[in-house]
Amino acid sequence: MTTEPPVLLLREHFDTLLEALARRGYKVVGPTVSEGTIVYDEVSRAEDLPVGWTDEQEGGRYRLKRRDDAALFGYAVGAQSWKQYLHPPRLRLVKADRDASGRMSFSDGDDAEPERYAFLGVRSCELHAMTIQDRVFLGSGVADTHYERRRKRVFSIGVSCGVAGGTCFCVSMGTGPQVTDRTPHDLALTEVIEEERHYFILTAGSDEGREVLAGLPVTPAGETEVSAAKQRVDQTAATMGRRMNAEGVRELLLENLEHPRWDDVAQRCLTCANCTLVCPTCFCTTVEDVADLTGDHAERWRRWDSCFTLDFTWMHGGSARQSGKSRYRQWLTHKLSTWHDQFGSSGCVGCGRCITWCPVGIDLTQEIAAFRDHPITPSPSQP
């Protein structure tokens, strides 16, 4: 647990945090309003944040709307997650050159120094997603050095949520809404708006976080203020838009691989891959090889891929997963079941993005409920 007592930063001093991070050489990225949604982008002052905005989220629906206050973090999450910075959508992996004698040479295509980012406003579910991706990329055999170089440079400022999105279910997944020491972070804050005052309760989660805090015009937080912050997060936990009974989901899906519900969801699923792109833990990639017109300089690029495409399992003779049903089944069983076998946890953090950004509003919490309500009898050969 954090040892130091929490401190209080007034809203009018919030810019000092951004300035302190900039002075330490960080490029601060955080939520901004763009194209009708929350988009992570460079921010240099509090006014760059979505001041006074909140979001309405439902299956297949996302709208920003005005709040009646000037909260900086008064919404849930947008389509993007921080994985775009740590696991870039497009990355040059290899540069290959061939000389006149046919001799071939290869060099690292990811040869630029990665940016040092300070992530401002990382929700607890997102911190959990980063921890999950740490295990995917760094914790199981061969390390992804591209991810590692970016990840270790990041300074993260977590935000405990003051509002639950309509598709949020972090409480069910045990991943929020309170930022805790279960997930590494440098600073954590909770926003409180009262009649007279607008302030943030901050705690440090790392030595560097403590150093940053020491340079800010903060005051010790009183018991009243700390409990006001806690009350807001408790209120968020109590108003989750969705719920999912995650207990035994790993086994539930293993036992229902031939359940008729897969046909039902396949009728609705467009296999558009939106869910995998907005998911903060989905990590699959493909590679593309390109050569220039001389034919002697080639590059190999990695880009995000999705298990929803037909191409994903293409081999000579066809794709292993021909039907939309099999591709949805792969995604859901991977996320909630086999992820446990591979990485020791669920692959879902309950952020609700896959529900909100599904064009037809497929809701995995409903799908799981359907399997629970009408399970097929496991055959004796199940493990």
Q: Which is nearer to other proteins, 3 or 381 (CB)?
A: 381
Cβ neighbours around 5 below 10 Å, total: 10
**Which residue number, 5 or 139, has a Cβ lying nearer to other proteins?**
139
Taking the complex as a whole, the smallest distance from the CB of residue 145 to other proteins amounts, in Å, to 8
3-class DSSP state of 302: strand
CA neighbor of 272 nearest in space, from 368, 367, 362, 339: 362
Q: Which is nearer to other proteins, 17 or 252 (CB)?
A: 252
Nearer to other proteins, 66 or 295 (CB): 295
Q: How far is the CB of 265 from other proteins (least distance, A)?
A: 15
User: Of 287 and 360, which has the nearer Cβ to other proteins?
Assistant: 287
Q: Are 216 and 16 in contact (CB under 8 A)?
A: yes
Question: 372: closest CA among 242, 246, 240, 241?
Answer: 246
Considering the complex, what minimum distance in angstroms separates the CB of residue 321 from other proteins?
A: 5
- Which is nearer to other proteins, 62 or 283 (by Cβ)? 283
Nearer CB in complex with other proteins: 4/258:
258
Q: 370 Cβ partners below 8 Å, 6+ apart?
A: 261, 264
Tell me if the bond preceding 114 is cis, omega within 30° of 0: no
Nearest partner of 364 among 355, 376, 374, judged by Cα:
355
Considering the complex, what minimum distance in angstroms separates the CB of residue 293 from other proteins?
A: 11
Question: What's the min distance (Å) between Cβ of 174 and other proteins?
Answer: 21
Tracing tokens 């579910």 back to the chain, one arrives at: 125
What is the smallest separation between the CB atom of 234 and other proteins, expressed in angstroms? 37
CB of 130 to other proteins, least distance (A): 16
Comparing CB distances to other proteins, the nearer of 104 and 376 is 104
Q: Which residues of 34-70 are buried (b: 16+ CB within 10 A; e: fewer)?
A: eeebbebeebeebebbbeebbbebbbbebebeeeeee
Residue 259 CB, nearest approach to other proteins (Å):
12
Task: Please enumerate, as own/partner, the contacts of 370-376 that have beta carbons within 8 Å and a separation of 24 or more.
Answer: 370/261, 370/264, 371/252, 371/253, 371/256, 371/259, 371/261, 372/245, 372/252, 374/259, 374/261, 375/252, 375/255, 375/256, 375/259, 376/255, 376/256, 376/258, 376/259, 376/260
- What is the amino acid identity at position 354? C
In DSSP terms, 220 is beta-bridged to: 7
- Pick between residue 242 and residue 329 the one whose CB is nearest to other proteins: 329
Residues forming contacts to other proteins in the complex (CB under 8 A) are: 93-94, 96, 98, 102-108, 136-137, 140-142, 144, 254, 257-258, 283-287, 289-291, 295, 298, 300, 302, 305, 307, 312-317, 320-323, 325-326, 329-330, 333-334, 338, 341-342, 381-383
How far CA 274 is from CA of 80, 120, 279, 307, 359, in Å, comes to 11, 25, 8, 11, 8
DSSP state of 282: -
The angle that helices 207-214 and 14-23 make with each other, rounded to 10 degrees, is 120
